[in-house]
Structure 1
Amino acid sequence: MIIQTERLTLREWRDEDRAPFADMSADPAVMRYLRALPTRQACDQWIDFQIKHFAEHGFGFWVVEDRATGTFLGATGLFRVFFDAPFTPAVEIGWRLARAAWGQGIATEAARASLAFGFGQLGLDEIIAYAAPANQASQNVMCKLGMIRDEASDFDHPRVEPDSPLRRQVMYRLPREIWAKGEAP
């Protein structure tokens, strides 16, 4: 499956994506608010998880590449939340981009295409997103997507160490009916 936007191609993973993904994941700035992938093996396992998720659910995180050049820019997409929380079951949208792709609206453009797929092709009723409170850049993208801040659903991530600054997560939601009305900015 391939999704194209004005500037981007979102596609499933290939073996040649492993090295640029590992390079991106080795950048401390990229990983500042994400759970660490400290080794090439951990990066490969993350990609393998995405491939498996696609096979089981028909969606996952796509590779994001520059449509004109084919340059690897990062990953974005949808996946089922696999931990117990008051808001599960749920489908989350997320993104991680190489630093060279920051500040160009790429995360927003790729995420909009992911939302259209989730609501259009998958028929989801709601898509959520969450981030560490200090991750203002991701929260800005969530707002640009028209997602609604839900402070009552903020939570401590069960897969993050209790003393980590990434443990606390702020919640955003986008119901299908809001998306369908085109109320997102």
Structure 2
Amino acid sequence: MTEIRTPRLILRQWSDDDLVPLSEINADPEVMRWIDDGSVRDLERTAEDIERYEEEWDEEGFGIFAVELIASGELIGFAGLSVPEYLPEVVPDVEIDWRLGRPFWGQGYASEAAHAVLEFALQDRGLDKVVAITHISNQGAENVIGKLGMTEERETNHPVHDVPLRIWAIDLTEYEA
């Protein structure tokens, strides 16, 4: 698996030591309010998520990275790519994802990680297009998406949770412009 270094972050493969810190992030209702129906996730569900992230790396050649703060070695969340199977109307497009613990919000880490992932997707993995999917009211995510140069494609509803979603996209020619 690829490792990416940015000025402040390491995007890397998952280790056993990541389970508890990620489960703490996933247990925070404020972090999870924009994910699916807003439900928090316990240790078992977080372990299943990490297992799925690792399987996607094996199957697709890309996936979700653990994001570590270089200064402290602390896991602050994740960022990466996934196939958004929960929203079949978007597939086969690939989605950029990130989730950081609340103490790490507002410091530019999400943008830094997302920029690295977008470059990885379009330059290293040769994807022609990347999408982002947000709850319509998630201004924090939309701020990051704007910094990535993504533009709104359309709105839809989550097929299971029936929450309004916004689909954003960027293709290789837009990224290189």
- Bin the TM-score by the shorter chain: over 0.9
**How far apart are residue 86 of structure 1 and its match?**
3.1
1:9 corresponds to: 10
Structure 1: how far apart are the matches of 2:117 and 2:87? 24
What residue ranges of structure 1 are gaps of 5+ in the alignment? none
- Would you say 1:169 and 2:170 are equivalent positions? no
What residue ranges of structure 2 are gaps of 5+ in the alignment? none
Checking the alignment, whether the CA contact within 8 Å between 2:29 and 2:40 is kept in structure 1 is no
2:156 corresponds to: 155
Residue by residue over 1:123-143, the C-alpha shift from the partner in whole angstroms, topping out at 9 and shown as x without a partner, is 111000011111110011000
Checking the alignment, whether the CA contact within 8 Å between 1:37 and 1:43 is kept in structure 2 is no
- Would you say 1:123 and 2:126 are equivalent positions? yes
1:79 corresponds to: 82
Structure 2: how far apart are the matches of 1:135 and 1:96? 13
2:137 to 134, 139, 145: 134
- 3-state SS of 2:127 partner: coil
Residue by residue over 1:35-89, the C-alpha shift from the partner in whole angstroms, topping out at 9 and shown as x without a partner, is 3343211111111100111111121110111112211110001111224533321
**1:161 alignment partner AA:** H
2:101 corresponds to: 98
**2:134 alignment partner AA:** A
Q: Normalized against structure 2, the TM-score is what? A: 0.94
Checking the alignment, whether the CA contact within 8 Å between 1:50 and 1:60 is kept in structure 2 is yes
RMSD between aligned residues: 1.2
May I ask how many residue pairs the two structures share in their alignment? 174
**1:91 alignment partner AA:** V
Checking the alignment, whether the CA contact within 8 Å between 1:30 and 1:97 is kept in structure 2 is yes
- 3-state SS of 1:170 partner: strand
Q: Normalized against structure 1, the TM-score is what? A: 0.90
